[in-house]
Structure 1
Amino acid sequence: MGCVSSKESRRRPPGYEDPNTLARETTFSVNEVEALYELYKRISYSITKDGLIHKEEFQLALFRNSNKRNLFADRIFDLFDLKRNGVIEFGEFVRSLDVFHPATPVEEKIAFAFRLYDLRGTGFIGREELKEMVLAILNESELLLSDDAVEEIVDQTFRQADMNGDGKIDPDEWKVFASKNPALLKNMTLPYLK
């Protein structure tokens, strides 16, 4: 019996977790977790054939380009890399994607979006962080706006979100702001899971 066990573990990549366990810990069904495993395998073997998703593979999967530096992709990768070891394992992949499930509470989506914009991990979003993310999103969308237009977006966001006027957006302020601006979370749900 020991041979079967060791043979089975050789076929699974590092960080593989049982779909039943992942389904119990997330909003995904066992079938959805198994489908995510097929997606995970395609991504994790696209460049480096080790069964782990590296940043270049992640960027290639998201944007069809593994060479172009992208702050948005880097931030999402960093948030998915729960162990902070430079790769995304299967369990991390499923647990992180859970926030994009249609049945995931909006509060979790808001909290994830806050962490995405909190570039420095300080527990608040500063003006420069917001500007960097706005520029990254515009760049990814291939939208070109003048510096003045970008500044106006940042200024307007701060006028609406920074309710206590301290020059930073804290998690509670972000929650109120996101609740009033649902378009901010429109990409936080994967429609094909509905």
Structure 2
Amino acid sequence: MGCCSSKKVGRTPGYEDPTILASETPFTESEVEALHELYKKLSCSIIDDGLIHKEEFQLALFRNSKRKNLFADRIFDLFDVKRNGVVDYGEFVRSLGVFHPNANVEDKINFAFRLYDLRQTGYIEREELKEMVLALLHESDLILSDDVVETIVDKTFRDADLKGDGKIDQEEWKELVKKHPTLIKNMTLPYLKDITLAFPSFVLSSEVEDIEVDLESCDTSTTLG
């Protein structure tokens, strides 16, 4: 990745004092400062304006700025708190904090729920779940038959849709996570405790391995997590 021009130094959009960010996130002040260096690196990788655009975010996650990926799109949308199409430094640190090993579990559960709630209706509907499962499989190049995908989705809903209304609300989601904690294991990135200039990848290899191991039983605890 290229380097930001000198005119950008000290003028990072959304910059906040490390002491403040450390007090409001699981990061220490030194980790916040390290994240600032990482942010500067990412924010000039394609467009040198001190902001992280979706293409730069995609490049950091999957080493590809062009390939369409639903998972990357959803992560970016949730990082883009101001809904202005870019991620500034404050948004970057606060959002990434959810993935810290010391972050509140409730915050992880809520973030994961919003990740699957593609249409932002406050519910996870069957079709949304299926889209996310297909996106995971596509990114991993794991090919499953339509019947197996349908079985994965059906079993998840039988387990989660306690009210039987064809959708998963936040309370049902929390109950599902209690029964299957692995659902939110990709919400914790251990290397956030040892931050470097390499972006903490969200690559879903562990989830894919779980799917491969449990395909025969279509275990929902490993299908999504």
Query: Which bracket does the TM-score occupy, shorter chain normalised?
Result: over 0.9
Q: What residue number does 1:171 align with? A: 170
Give the superposition deviation at 1:131. 0.4
Determine the C-alpha separation between the residues in 2 that align with 1:27 and 1:134: 30
The aligned runs of 1:89-108 (5 Å cut-off) are 89-108=88-107
Q: Contact (CA 8 Å) 2:8, 2:50: kept in 1 or not?
A: no
Q: What TM-score, normalized to structure 2?
A: 0.80
Q: What TM-score, normalized to structure 1?
A: 0.93
Give the superposition deviation at 1:9. 8.6
Q: What residue number does 2:139 align with? A: 140
Q: Contact (CA 8 Å) 2:108, 2:184: kept in 1 or not?
A: yes
Determine the C-alpha separation between the residues in 1 that align with 2:64 and 2:115: 21
Determine the C-alpha separation between the residues in 1 that align with 2:9 and 2:65: 28
Q: What residue number does 1:15 align with? A: 14
Matched, 1:190 2:159: no
Q: What residue number does 1:149 align with? A: 148
Q: What residue number does 1:76 align with? A: 75
Looking at secondary structure, tell me which structure has more helix per residue.
1
User: Aligned-pair RMSD on alpha carbons?
Assistant: 1.4
After superposition, what is the alpha-carbon deviation per residue over 1:74-126, rounded to whole angstroms, capped at 9, x for unaligned? 00000000000000000000000111011112111111000000000100000
Determine the C-alpha separation between the residues in 2 that align with 1:48 and 1:175: 39
Runs of 4 or more above 4 Å deviation: none
Determine the C-alpha separation between the residues in 1 that align with 2:123 and 2:87: 25
Q: What residue number does 2:108 align with? A: 109
Give the unaligned 5+ runs of structure 2. Answer: 1-6, 194-225
Determine the C-alpha separation between the residues in 1 that align with 2:53 and 2:192: 25
Determine the C-alpha separation between the residues in 1 that align with 2:155 and 2:22: 41
Amino acid at match of 2:23: R
Give the superposition deviation at 1:26. 0.8
Q: What residue number does 2:38 align with? A: 39
Identity of aligned residues (%): 72
Q: What residue number does 2:128 align with? A: 129
Amino acid at match of 1:123: G
Determine the C-alpha separation between the residues in 1 that align with 2:56 and 2:158: 38
Determine the C-alpha separation between the residues in 1 that align with 2:9 and 2:147: 56
Count of matched residue pairs: 187
Give the superposition deviation at 1:179. 1.6
